Amino acid sequence: MAPSSFSRALLLVLALSSAALAPGPAGATGVFRVRRKFPGHGGAGEAEERLAALRRHDGRRHGRLLGAADLPLGGVGLPTETGLYFTRIEIGAPPRGYYVQVDTGSDILWINCVRCDGCPTRSGLGIELTQYDPAGSGSTVGCGQEFCAAANAGVPQPCSSESSPCQFRITYGDGSSTTGFYVTDLLQYDRVSGDGQTTPSNATITFGCGAQLGGDLGSDSQALDGILGFGQSNSSVLSQLAAASKVPKIFAHCLDTVRGGGIFAIGDVVQPIVKTTPLVPNMPHYNVNLEGISVGDAILQLPTNIFDSGENKGTIIDSGTTLAYLPEEVHKTLMAAVFNKYQDMTFHNYQDFICFQFSGSVDDGFPIITFSFEGDLTLNVYPHDYLFQNGNDFYCVGFVNGGLQTKDGKNMVLLGDLVLSNKLVVYNLENKVIGWTDYNCSSSIKIKDDMTGFTYTVDAHNISSGWRFQWHKSLVLLLVTTIWSYLMF
């Protein structure tokens, strides 16, 4: 995702390495390699469009998350413009590679199929798109099969017989959609087998074969082959692998904004030790109980029920969202506390960002923001994380007023990569908890292999070797210089 963490968050994406055919043992672990998505080049006009696209992406994703009840698969979704992560997986026998977005807010894996109506054939990301052919090694899932009923949450399907293809349809907050049918085939992946080593493995999984795309999903600029959901439902790839005794139902990511890349792995993380908070039960996303927010040493005085969970309320941890969104009352109180020492400061509003001039170190001039969760778990957000800058002492705040988003989302807290970067985040679905700790994502973690009992080192990766660009300097300068020029002239 550049000296500021916001720009690093904008640039970071994850990628899964390809693997060959080979069976894997029960309780194994898997590792994903990390890839940044956006090259840091282009003119000022492109930079301005990227900032606008970032806001559109988060706005649409926010609407998708909140509109889960309207989706036939219960919360399945895809960032349509500036998704933060993508992976390369291999499917079939013989295997073929596909680039898919990784999304912790959705459940199923789906990829575009041959003869797809409206599917892109090229991508502005510099990757080669591939459409899946179910006539190869795949088999179509029938309406009478158990997976069909489970994936569609009991919603009756338009089937002429039990052998008719089981269909799916996903509609997103911006009106984009994908429709198709389910197939079963082999997924190839890398199993952790030693310190910094992997062994190719595979498993049979069921996933969606996209037959038609609508809206921005068919755009060439950010096109990928599909989406890989890491949600909680039994239809997710993670759940299917766990049900087949291939991996535990635990995964972790660490997004590196220092060197780029990072860690994305499946398995029981034993080092570093991560403190956790319970997941709110019976929720389609990773909802947690937020209990309070502090700015420096001062606890914000907010209504006692402001963070209560419920319909269109509560707090979601979502690595697929770039920024952080707060209810209007929370946002207003937080901004007042952050800028308490600067009563005479002049602010500019640009695409819902609060921007200002400041000379000196923001880490010395502004307070740490601390989110406190059930179970005495805290999450610190440092000034260099929530403020992004250019070389002319011009800064913008990455916290956004959620009241400016959708009607349904105005009372929700949505915490994205603005607060998750440079932290190891562990999703333990077996124990129904999620946790994190500040961490050097350029280093490594240790994961226990449940079958052998051995503990292995998983290293950080950045497989974007084909993209040699100076992301650490260029993109944020272009973005904020454009903002400054806009405001001044």
DSSP 212: E
Q: How many CA atoms, within 13 angstroms, populate the side-chain half-sphere of residue 119? A: 23
Instruction: Kindly give the residue spans of alpha helices, DSSP state H, lying in 108-181.
Output: 146-151
Among the listed residues 259, 394, 401, 398, the one whose alpha carbon sits nearest the alpha carbon of residue 329: 401
86-91 and 268-271 as β-strands: parallel, antiparallel, unpaired? Answer: unpaired
103 is catalytic: yes
Q: Is the preceding omega at residue 25 within 30 degrees of 0, hence cis?
A: no
The residue from 318, 385, 449, 450 that is catalytic is 318
* Residues linked to residue 113 through DSSP beta bridges, in sequence order: 132
394-397 and 353-357 as β-strands: parallel, antiparallel, unpaired? Answer: antiparallel
Interacting residues of 69 by C-beta distance below 8 A, sequence separation 6+:
none
Complete DSSP assignment for 222-236: T--SEEEE--SSTTS
The residue from 58, 103, 256, 385 that is catalytic is 103
Pairwise CA distance, residues 7 & 11, whole Å: 6
Cβ atoms of 400 and 323 closer than 8 Å: yes
Cβ atoms of 77 and 83 closer than 8 Å: no
Among the listed residues 7, 3, 44, 2, the one whose alpha carbon sits nearest the alpha carbon of residue 322: 7
Q: List C-alpha distances in Å: 384 to 210, 286, 314, 395.
A: 41, 26, 26, 10
Pairwise CA distance, residues 101 & 80, whole Å: 10
70 is catalytic: no
Complete DSSP assignment for 282-325: T-SS-EE-EEEEEETTEEP---TTTT--BTTBEEEE-TT-SSEE
Cβ atoms of 479 and 3 closer than 8 Å: no
The single-letter code of the amino acid at 183 is V
Give the helix/strand (H/E) hosting 271: strand 268-271
DSSP 410: T
Pairwise CA distance, residues 49 & 274, whole Å: 38
Cα 45 to its chain centre, rounded Å, is 26
Give catalytic residue positions.
103, 318
